[in-house]
Amino acid sequence: MSHLSPASLLVWAILSSLVGTFLVYHLWSFDRFKCLRWNKSAGTFKRIMTYSYLLTVPLITTYAIGFTAIKYYEGFVAFPFYGIIPKPIELWSPFTQSFNFPLMLCLSVGWSLEMVTHLEELCFWLFLVNSGTAQQNWFHSLYFKTWIVGSIVAVIYMPLITVLTRSDPLKSEAYTFLAGSLGSISLTLCFMPILFTFPSFLRNLRSEGVDTNTIVRLTKFAELNTIRVFFRFLFTVPFLILSVDGIRPHHHINENMLWTDFLAMIAGFGCSISSTLTLVIFFPRSIHGEIASRDERRHGKYCQTGAYEASLYDSGMRTNMAQHSAHTFNYGTLVLGSESFLLNSPPRPNVQLDVDSRSDKYPSPTTCAMHEARWTGSMDKDWPDKEQDTVASLSPLRPNRKKGGDSDLDSTNQSREAGMAELNTHIPNVNQMVQNFTSPIDLVYSGQKSEGTKLTFSKS
């Protein structure tokens, strides 16, 4: 990066900061940062994947912002035959040179964790496409073991190259970018067979009768992967060109500011967009579920407030009625011991209680289905004995109350969806993980337990 201009590094700093901002917003909208909690229910595998990806963004952002500040601090210098160019690292002050190795180490560690993330997704999709009924467990598959070995290699060799070449800043920069770009472009090329075989895989799932919601999710992630592979090439190919030119004796491309800045900016856009798509794939939001949850919380808050207001209103009405009755009518009572019993009362005039007089700002549990209640006529109607027996024998009227959806019919729809999901779990020719697919790190096994490994988790 010593050949890059301050403007190109500023673009990297802005893009990486935007990705970090979107990361915070997306995780808050996803589950209010619950996915970041270190709990046993999440499982070791999901924690490793979550934190390895989330550490990549701040590490690369630190690298970009740090070198942007250094570049603007050092400025430009005039060289014969070269003109005005960014000041080479050999001419930096000792203070700014001391930040070169820590920032390069941040880049190498972040890049290695990013390769861990993409290697896991590569192995996961290969397992998903090639898995059958005989191989139902991801944690016992060859793809999972390949991911473990590849992740260990990536985490070790990237920082190791930076450390071993730190004595020569230009050499360290060239070999670090060469190692990272070779590893990333290899993973990107390995994604190509998945993109070509995935349409036939989806057609096979449709023919097997897999649930439509599962097909929709897999189709969505297949499209996102196709877009992300394109931007992955935009990220890796420019850095591969710059790094190969950097290890050669004559730097034809790195000495040209136009091509150097152009390739660096293209790589910045490719890295930021592909990282954003990875975030969306790993933590897919359900807009329908978020709206339903928000409405449920709002309805519960309003009903609690409305119930309190209704209790105050009803108690006040009962007090007023009691006082009105005590001052208006003379009741006949029968006294037995210390208790009094109401025997009769004279006919009362029509009493009308209008509940609409109070505020309807919040619906109460008693008024969610009925907004007004009116009683007209005599409250002490004299019923014949035959009519009283008839009324007593009738069953009470029960309203058609909502149950989880818009009506009782919604419960029937939910039961039908649950039945379809249960039917999918018994499809013999489809892997259980395919039917329960949500994201590459959210692996759900219905009724299965991973034995022989501790890298398991249950859905949180």
pLDDT digits (tens, 9 = 90+) for 220-241: 888 999 999 999 999 999 999 9
Amino acid at 333: T
Question: pLDDT at residue 352 above 80?
Answer: no
Q: How far apart are CA 42 and CA 31, in angstroms?
A: 14
pLDDT confidence of 323, banded at 50, 70, 90? low
Q: What ranges make up the beta strands (E) of 256-314?
A: none
H or E element that contains 448 = none
Residues shown for the chain: 460
Q: Which two tokens stand for residue 235?
A: 């990220």
What is residue 110's predicted lDDT score, i.e. its pLDDT?
95
Q: How far apart are CA 16 and CA 115, in angstroms?
A: 17
What is residue 424's predicted lDDT score, i.e. its pLDDT?
47
pLDDT confidence of 83, banded at 50, 70, 90? confident
Cβ atoms of 306 and 363 within 8 Å: the answer is yes
- Please give the C-alpha separations between residue 268 and each of 60, 235, 281, 340, in angstroms, as whole numbers: 11, 7, 20, 88
Q: Which residue has the higher pLDDT, 86 or 82?
A: 86
Beta bridge partners of 342: 333
Phi, psi of 76, deg, nearest 5: -115, 165
Cβ atoms of 16 and 57 within 8 Å: the answer is yes
User: Which DSSP string corresponds to 93-152?
Assistant: -HHHHTTHHHHHHHHHHHHHHHHHHHHHHHHHHHHHHH--TT---GGGSHHHHHHHHHHH
pLDDT digits (tens, 9 = 90+) for 114-169: 999 999 999 988 888 887 654 567 888 899 999 999 999 999 999 999 999 999 99
pLDDT digits (tens, 9 = 90+) for 5-17: 999 999 999 999 9
What is residue 206's predicted lDDT score, i.e. its pLDDT?
86
pLDDT confidence of 329, banded at 50, 70, 90? very low
- Spatial CB neighbours of 375, under 8 Å, sequence gap ≥ 6: 351, 352, 353
Q: Which two tokens stand for residue 244?
A: 């190969």
- Spatial CB neighbours of 415, under 8 Å, sequence gap ≥ 6: none
- Spatial CB neighbours of 104, under 8 Å, sequence gap ≥ 6: 63, 162, 166, 172, 173, 176
Question: pLDDT at residue 91 above 60?
Answer: yes
Cβ atoms of 140 and 148 within 8 Å: the answer is no
Burial class of residue 187 in the structure, from the number of CB atoms within 10 Å of its CB (0-12 exposed, 13-18 middle, 19+ buried): buried
- Of 157, 125, 156, residue with least CA distance to 143: 125
H or E element that contains 413 = helix 408-424
Question: pLDDT at residue 259 above 60?
Answer: yes
Q: Which residue has the higher pLDDT, 79 or 412?
A: 79
Amino acid at 456: T
- pLDDT (average), residues 34-51: 79
Query: Best-predicted range by mean pLDDT among 9-18, 189-198, 370-379?
Result: 9-18
Q: Which residue has the higher pLDDT, 362 or 76?
A: 76
Cβ atoms of 328 and 347 within 8 Å: the answer is no
Q: How far apart are CA 90 and CA 164, in angstroms?
A: 19
Q: Which two tokens stand for residue 282?
A: 């790993």
What is residue 376's predicted lDDT score, i.e. its pLDDT?
43
DSSP 355: G
Half-sphere exposure at residue 124, Cβ-oriented, CA atoms within 13 angstroms: 23
Question: pLDDT at residue 106 above 50?
Answer: yes
- Spatial CB neighbours of 352, under 8 Å, sequence gap ≥ 6: 374, 375, 376
- pLDDT (average), residues 327-352: 46
Q: How far apart are CA 235 and CA 111, in angstroms?
A: 12
- Spatial CB neighbours of 73, under 8 Å, sequence gap ≥ 6: 96
